[in-house]
Structure 1
């Protein structure tokens, strides 16, 4: 067990799935439910496009009964989409809880199997972090980040397919913007990942310094080293606080950039659609539906 070496998130997740198979139990059904929920969400922009082009602008008098019928269909689809997403969320959270309980048990078994020499070679705080903060971090990722990855990937993929079907020229504009922002996110995530690694190391150092100060309190008092130990613990906690603040600033900046990207992409779609809409043969309903699809596309990113 090494505390200094940092592993990539993908490697940690693969190892977690290998050690705790419960994490992947029922994953395929979760994916099916996520895709079903994302697909049903596409009914709303399609319905709006049909109402605008065929009922509002396509005829002199709109057929109210048809509009209401389409609206009811869209409402039912949204209800089923919410149910599918809820069931996928429940399955993923339950699998994560069961799998991480198994992972924590495996971690304790591994620690108990180590020799006294190996245990003494490790700082006490590092071993405590392995079965507390490290597992909790994976649990938070699986319950929230994992949900976002599964549901978001399905939603983005289906929204992009719908855009290509509606108007491929405008879809390419959206795709270009998404690719640029994805590159920026990947670079930012690497920086943020290193920042989280530093926080993890600082937490381990803080637990070790605090544990050593408490367990050796009699020796510290005997040699009159209270001030030295207090200063060392304070410095360790200050370094942890500074690392956590820096990580929080980076995370909030990345989150805020998603809002900026959403606004810029929406404005770009409206501008390009208005300027080149007639040339591309794009109807008003298609442009409005495109805006709803853009919202579905950027929602997981936000």
Structure 2
């Protein structure tokens, strides 16, 4: 298990009891749903075909049993829907708190290279999509797995050859879905980047609205926003195209499955190897086989959207705080204020030119020093090195004779 997988699963740990309870309720509810077609089969095959003398009483009893099953299933689904979403929201809160705390530890250098709107998108939209995956992902896959496996076993008991005829479509579906999912994942990742660009553009414009209006730059800013808005539209169109291909392809396969059941089942009735009651039951259970396939588009979109959000979360958490104290660093409790620069050099990136180079300077406590120079020569940068907003690229800075690191 790699580190990303461990990190993904770690968010379940504080809510493991609730998660297991929700999962158990989801599985029980899915299993109960499998009993309803069996009740229909009992009425049509055992009661009606055999002309039982107490047929009406039997129908009422089975109907009452079906009502009980539906009542229990509804209660379980209510708990899963309510508490499951609450669990997802609590996990979203935990992730957002962790990311926000991490943001506060990152240096100025990081924020020099990032746009505020992009960071806001990562802490809002991405985490919402991820929370939906945390709740619905295991739940949906378990529910549809139970229904699919249960329906397959029951159908196999009714008519094995007709069941295998349905299963022949599954490899085609698997290959088609894998191909479309890969394209859909790339499109959704691009969507998140584009909406982040829109947020960043809006934040930049509104933060400097006074400057924009002072220089009558409304047209320029509108042009910038329109460009980002159109780029987002292009990415959405790409996503919708891939979704349409996936959805319509899956829909076509499900329709072919239904046609296969009707045609093959009809021939089996003519050959007296299958009766009408079993065909009705087969059609009802075929819905349980087809439903996971029909939901595949939504589940795939949810999975890809959530995983993309998790990847973007991990990208941010992987950024390490730049300010690291040296081994054996001491804490200065009462600073006098004597500052000394010894051959200090600084560059914003390793491949950038030096902003400061071989700066040696001593300032005693209480002294006033004026830094004079044109805009961009490094006056603010020099001051920012003292509180370690940036780390020096070369040399050392001392406070009261102690290296600030």
Report the equivalent of 1:177: 169
Cα distance in 2 for partners of 1:84, 1:293 equals 21
Q: Does the 8 A contact of 1:34 with 1:154 survive in 2?
A: no
Cα distance in 2 for partners of 1:91, 1:231 equals 46
Shift in alpha-carbon separation, 1:158–1:257, aligned structure 2, 3 A: same
Q: Does 1:299 align with 2:291?
A: yes
Matches within 5 A, 1:48-63: 48-59=40-51, 63=55
> Which one is further off, 280-289 or 194-203?
280-289
Deviation string for 1:108-137 (max 9, x for gaps)?
011111111112222222211111111122
Q: Does 1:290 align with 2:282?
A: yes
Matched residue of 1:82: which SS? helix
Cα distance in 2 for partners of 1:168, 1:14 equals 41
Report the equivalent of 1:99: 91
Matches within 5 A, 1:122-201: 122-144=114-136, 147-201=139-193
Q: CA deviation at 1:300?
A: 3.5
> Which one is further off, 150-159 or 267-276?
150-159
Matched residue of 1:99: which SS? helix
Q: CA deviation at 1:14?
A: 5.9
Deviation string for 1:31-89 (max 9, x for gaps)?
22112111111212111222222222234767221122122212221222222222222
Deviation string for 1:270-296 (max 9, x for gaps)?
111122356683332222111111112
Q: Does the 8 A contact of 2:198 with 2:228 survive in 1?
A: yes
Structure 1 or 2: more strand by fraction: 2
Report the equivalent of 1:64: 56
Cα distance in 2 for partners of 1:23, 1:209 equals 38
Report the equivalent of 1:88: 80
Cα distance in 1 for partners of 2:65, 2:205 equals 66
Q: 1:242 aligns with which of 234, 246, 255?
A: 234
Q: Structure 1: which 5+ residue stretches go unaligned? A: 1-9
TM-score where L is the length of structure 1: 0.84
Cα distance in 2 for partners of 1:131, 1:122 equals 14
Cα distance in 1 for partners of 2:130, 2:6 equals 12
> Which one is further off, 82-91 or 279-288?
279-288
Matches within 5 A, 1:19-38: 19=11, 21-22=13-14, 24-38=16-30
Q: Does the 8 A contact of 1:39 with 1:155 survive in 2?
A: yes
> Which one is further off, 43-52 or 146-155?
146-155
Cα distance in 2 for partners of 1:136, 1:23 equals 18
Cα distance in 2 for partners of 1:260, 1:68 equals 39
Q: CA deviation at 1:11?
A: 9.3
Report the equivalent of 1:205: 197
Matches within 5 A, 1:275-286: 275-277=267-269, 281-286=273-278
Q: CA deviation at 1:253?
A: 4.5
Cα distance in 2 for partners of 1:144, 1:241 equals 28
Shift in alpha-carbon separation, 1:13–1:272, aligned structure 2, 3 A: farther
Structure 1 or 2: more helix by fraction: 1
Deviation string for 1:201-251 (max 9, x for gaps)?
101111222323333456667777654443222111111122123323433
Report the equivalent of 2:106: 114
Cα distance in 2 for partners of 1:254, 1:247 equals 11
> Which one is further off, 254-263 or 64-73?
254-263
Shift in alpha-carbon separation, 1:222–1:82, aligned structure 2, 3 A: closer
The alignment yields a C-alpha RMSD, in angstroms, of 2.9
Q: CA deviation at 1:200?
A: 0.5
Q: Does 1:266 align with 2:258?
A: yes
Cα distance in 2 for partners of 1:247, 1:11 equals 30
Matched residue of 1:282: which SS? coil
TM-score where L is the length of structure 2: 0.64
